[in-house]
Structure 1
């Protein structure tokens, strides 16, 4: 099923936009880093899910 990787990549895009917005607003660095890390994890999860494998 290809729905989950698509949803993860959409979430990653939203998180990247949120990270950029937080950065431009001068928000606390911890919030920017945490949001950026969540974006990286969502991107990695979406891409890894698309890799061919068993099943």
Structure 2
């Protein structure tokens, strides 16, 4: 088992928290969208890393 998916999913959680904080602070839509996209990429990477494949 690798530590990478755990790190990616943890990063996704922190980024989602950042999105919530940015929304509460009335940040620009661009900054909220950018952090949200980074959170989704991190989440997708962590989940895809867990899918078994040919090694």
What's the TM-score bracket when you normalise by the shorter of the two chains?
over 0.9
TM-score, length basis structure 1: 0.96
Gaps of 5+ in 2: none
**Paired residue for 1:35?**
35
Q: Distance in 2 between matches of 1:6 and 1:24?
A: 27
Report the aligned-residue RMSD: 0.7
Q: Deviations over 1:3-47 (max 9, x none)?
A: 001000000000000011001110011000000000000000000
Runs of 4+ in 1 over 3 A off after TM superposition: none
TM-score, length basis structure 2: 0.96
